[in-house]
Structure formats: structure tokens, C-alpha cells
Amino acid sequence: MDNNNSARTQYIFSSGAKLGIGMVLFFLILYFADKMFGSGWSAFSWVIYAAIIYQTMRVYRDKFRDGFLSYGQGLLFGIRISTLAGIIIGFYYFIMFSFVDPSLRDMMFAEAEEAYLALGMSESAVENMQGSIAMATNPWVLLISNAIGGMFNGLIVSLLIALFVKRKGDPFQEVMRDVQ
């Protein structure tokens, strides 16, 4: 039983790493295509989230849960791997904004200002918000916010994916399996 738990934990970590690395590769493609900010391509990240969570959740169900997975177990699995992926994505942003291309912070700052102006805020209100915008573009804040954002994204995607992956078994057998 202990060997199965360690293999299950290792699979959860490797699934989170797959999701995180997949997202980092996608963000690198956007970076090199100069589409990191202000393009609709970043919305494609939801498709990547859904595809990887679906695939890894199915394998988790079939390999570690004997082909059965409740909705709650699927939801928890998706949140766990997404949180791990969020940490990896946060480190990516930290490295990009701190070492690789610090000018990204200025680009993100300008993008936020333009977005606030497009919402109809006055220039004086946007100027008053510059401190908040500067804090939000801080690499340390991006690291932490991406970890939390990964958990939130995983919750949203897993709410839907777990509906399709769940498979109920005999309740008596499930309880007896947990007892053994």
C-alpha cells in the first residue's frame, strides 16, 4: 500500500510538471513570436490546461484508482497538479522578468495602463494606480500570484473535466478497498 501511495504521489508531481512545462513552452513560443502581451493567443492556454488535465486525470483514474474516480477525487487531482504547474510558471515569469528580459516588466506595465484607459478611467486615476501596477509587475509578486492563479485555473478546468473522467464503481467495494 505504501508503494502505491508513493507511486501515486510521484505521478501527481510528474503530472504537475508536465502541465507546468507545457505551459512554459507555450509561453516561450509566445515570447519568441512577440505575442506575449496584447494578443488573443494567450487564451489558448486554457486548451492546454484542459488537454493535459484530462489526459493525466484519465491515466490517474485507470492506473491508480482501479478505473474508478469520484468527482471530488478528480477535482482534487486537477487542483493539485495545477498548483504545481502554477509554481513552475511562476518561476518562469520570475526568471524572465528578473534576468532574461527585464524590459518585459515595462511592457506589462504599459499594457496595464492602456487597459485601464480603455476601460474609461481617467489619466489621473491611472497615474494614481501606478504604484499598484508596479507592485503587480514585480517578479516576486508574479511568482506568488501564478502559484495561486494555477490553483484557481485548475479549479475551473477540473470542475468540468472531472465530470467527464469520473467513473463510479460499486460503493461497497470502494469502502472495502479503503479499509484494506
Terminal Cα distance for the chain, rounded: 9
Give pLDDT, residue 104. Answer: 84
The domain limits of the chain are: 2-179
pLDDT band at residue 177, thresholds of 50, 70 and 90? Answer: low
Q: What CA–CA distance (Å, rounded) separates 60 from 53? A: 10
Per-residue model confidence (pLDDT) at position 138: 81
- For the whole model, what pTM was predicted? 0.84
d(CA 32, CA 28): 6
Whether 123 shows a pLDDT value over 70: the answer reads yes
pLDDT digits (tens, 9 = 90+) for 10-22: 999 999 999 999 9
- Calpha distance 82→147 (Å, rounded): 8
**Is the model's pLDDT at 1 over the cut of 70?**
no
pLDDT above 90 covers a percentage of the chain that reads 53
